[in-house]
Amino acid sequence: MAKKETVKNAEKLVEMAMKGNDASHDEAHVWRVRDLALSLAREEGLASNPESLEIVELAALLHDIGDYKYLRDPSEEKVVEKFLELEGIEEHKKVKILQIIKGMGFKDELAGLENDQLFPEFGIVQDADRLDAIGAIGIARCFTFGGSRSRVLHDPAIQPRSDLSKEQYMKKDEQTTVNHFHEKLLKLKDLMKTKAGKKRAERRHKFMEEFLKEFYEEWDGRA
């Protein structure tokens, strides 16, 4: 686990940096990801490795600061680096934390990130973030984000895009909220890196499939 003072400072930074975000990417999301990541780390056998737990906790806490979807100022991308320097985090830990944060996004995987070169802490934090994007919480977050951007809820005439590139994925205006399930959320189960993450993803994935089945039946007046 990270030092208590550093964790408190990281929590304060999260609260300040994410203050204006909608509820799909707010502080509560970060606290859930942190708790999930530490839980996965223990399941993956890292409980006896304080350094790994420190990297996992700090990366989970800081992972959404400077998120491109909410970037108000280009300098925000450097906030995490400056924070880690001010907190005196050792260079090798800092490098790993920044690697996790910069490479864990879905858009980066679409760009062809080489996952076989990654280290255990990366997979743990990424899986935790992706678990929070699926299941009941994931459904709630998806509709919250879509609503915050005034996105079309569903249009049967607009088909989900397949074989997305990073650039296409980032064009959020081309999506409907329901299509986002097919373009991203339903794919996350098979992209989990850890055994613990894969196990938890199964249940959440199934819940989303059941929800969509009901959604389409209600939309068509069949339910």
At 93 the pLDDT is 96
- Across 191-203, average pLDDT: 97
Mean pLDDT, residues 68-97 taken together? 85
| Stretch among 34-43, 64-73, 88-97 having the lowest mean pLDDT | 64-73
Total number of domains in the chain: 1
Give the CATH number of the domain where residue 20 resides: 1.10.3210.50
The band of 162, judged by pLDDT with boundaries at 50, 70 and 90, is confident
171 pLDDT above the threshold of 80: no
CA 153 – CA 168 distance, rounded (Å): 19
Q: What is the pTM of this model?
A: 0.90
Give the model's pLDDT for residue 105: 84
Identify the residue with better confidence: 1 or 211.
211
| DSSP code string of 88-121 | T--HHHHHHHHHHHHH-SHHHHHTT--GGG--HH
Length of the chain: 223
Average pLDDT, the chain: 90
Query: Which distant-in-sequence residues (6+ apart) come within 8 Å of 138 by Cβ?
Result: 132, 185, 204, 208
Helix (H/G/I), strand (E/B), else coil: 168: helix
Expressed as residue numbers, the domain containing 124 is: 4-219
For 72, which DSSP code?
S
Tokens of 13: 């930074």
